[in-house]
Amino acid sequence: MKCLVTGGAGFIGSHLVDRLLEEGHEVTILDSLSPRVHARRRPDYIPDDVRVVIGDVRDPKGVMSALEGAEVIFHQAAYQDYLADFSTFITTNAGSTALLYEIIVERRLPISKVVVASSQAVYGEGLYECDEHGLQQPPTRAEAQLRSGDWEVRCPKCGVGMRPLPLGEEYANPYNAYALSKWSEELIALRLGQLYGISTVALRYSITQGPRQSPVNTYSGICRIFSQRILCGKAPVVFEDGRQTRDFVHVADVVEANLLVMREPRAGGQVFNVGSGRPTTVLEYALGILAAFGSDLQPVLSSEYRVGDNRHSVSSIARLQSLGWAPRYGLSRIFSDYLEWLSARGETQDHFSEADAAMRRLGVVRRVTQ
């Protein structure tokens, strides 16, 4: 197959490119080589024989060039940040998706499958169960609650703490700009795909981790941040009380999910979670990565919180498992693979202090006051 991977120079996209090439597919990459991630240089892990179109996914000219001859599209390119540039989230993530379908339809391109990368973020605060009032989709936790150090999600009807449930694909409840942009992307892709007969799949990624996760990109996540702190002799800083749960998945498992839904006709028109399906507290994660480093440091509970963070986010993966997919790698493999990659790069620079200071200055990270 002739495949286009948008964002193909990035973390997930580049691993997907590797696997597509292994399977004998022809690959084109469309990537802006954002300076936040790549310093506008073609990464050395991109094979020389891969066609790379350097361009913005919002630019019709670049998109049309990249689509030349394509049969399958993996739309991995995305804008991610903690800043309040709301319009950039929408124009990049949702707008670029609309543009893809616009060009496909206008030019009657013979696209057999489109796979769009969505996010677990579309669930917002998630799904909970109250003993008295049953299932609830609560709003994001109030600022006054967080400021007082009251972390657990409470029933909006009676105020009692609730039990978190696995996140299922049948609903969404986005609250921040990134989540809204990803949910919009899903709706655009699936509805236009259905309307114009273009087989489309949306994959809601949990927190994806592994080699090539940019050490300089502020948004690239907990593994990067904790690793760099440890390498600089500083302990991981844990927000809230560390008992918030997350769902971490290895990038190799995410790639295999993409390949499965590309091949599987039954996947068309559906949304699938891609995660581990297992809850891990942030404190457990911090202790695990410290052990992987062989460090005797201890996590620091900072009495801080990050605005917009969810309390608990763990996805149900039953729907994708029904097609024959299952995650193969756990946290220990995530840690070992990422640390091996960092070591090979000789990466020991402090890329976190400036970002930390910026988030506090902008009010993204706040301190308990009561």
pLDDT at position 351 over 80: no
What's the confidence (pLDDT) of residue 308? 84
Instruction: Look at residue 42 in the predicted model and tell me its pLDDT.
Output: 85
CB environment 301-332: b (16+ within 10 A), e (fewer): eeebbebbbbbbbbbbbebbeeeebebebbbe
Q: For residue 140, is pLDDT > 80?
A: yes
Comparing C-alpha atoms, which of 272, 291, 260, 273 is closest to residue 207?
A: 273
- pLDDT, tens only, 29-84: 999 998 777 665 788 899 988 999 999 999 999 999 999 999 999 999 999 876 77
Tell me the pLDDT of the chain averaged across its residues: 93
Torsion-angle region of 294 (φ positive above 0: left; ψ -120 to 50: alpha; else: beta): left
- pLDDT at 348 (0 to 100): 65
Contact 250, 327 (CB under 8 A): yes
Tell me what pLDDT residue 360 has: 84
The domain made up of 2-367 is a member of CATH 3.40.50.150: no
Predicted confidence at residue 224, as pLDDT, reads 87
Please state, as a whole number, how many other Cβ atoms lie within 10 Å of the Cβ of residue 232. Answer: 13
Structure confidence at residue 352 as a pLDDT band (50, 70, 90): confident
Ranges of each domain in the chain: 2-367
280-302: per-residue pLDDT in tens? 999 999 999 999 999 999 999 99
The stretch 269-274 carries a mean pLDDT of 98
Q: How many CA atoms lie within 13 A of 115 on its CB side?
A: 29
Is the model more confident about 90 or about 350?
Answer: 90
**pLDDT score for 341:** 92
Condensed to tens digits (0 to 9), the pLDDT of residues 180-218 reads: 999 999 999 999 999 999 999 999 999 999 999 877 766
